[in-house]
Amino acid sequence: MALHEPQSAPARGPAEAQISLAAALCYLNEQTDAQIAAALGVCRRTLARWKRRPDFRTAFRAAALTGGWLVERQFRERWHAERRTAGQLRRATQKRSRRRT
């Protein structure tokens, strides 16, 4: 009987970038928790759970020191990149549908 090495489970929990972004968006206080969670692709309860993490509190303090400007800029850049990708996908789909007609 061959011995198999156990497979490692995929990493669980939020990435550091997600925590930093969530903390900065919470610091900016421009959106509700539900809106922030939707922007991050998680549910509101997940965001509430993240808020109790020590790394979230550290990231929140960092956002407070920088005024949240750095993470807000990263969020906006990510948002624009996703819009560009969605636009490219839409254009490619439109081209394919034109070819079929």
User: What tens digit of pLDDT does each residue of 44-67 get?
Assistant: 999 999 999 999 999 999 888 887
Report the distance separating Cα 2 and Cα 76, nearest Å: 51
Integer angstrom CA distances of residue 28 from 44, 74, 90: 17, 14, 32
From 57, 58, 71, 56, select the one nearest 24 (Cα to Cα). Answer: 71
Report the distance separating Cα 23 and Cα 26, nearest Å: 5
pTM here is 0.58
Report the distance separating Cα 25 and Cα 43, nearest Å: 15
| Cβ atoms 27, 63 nearer than 8 A | yes
> Averaged in consecutive runs of 10 residues, what is the pLDDT profile of the chain (101 residues)?
54 80 88 92 94 94 78 68 70 67 58
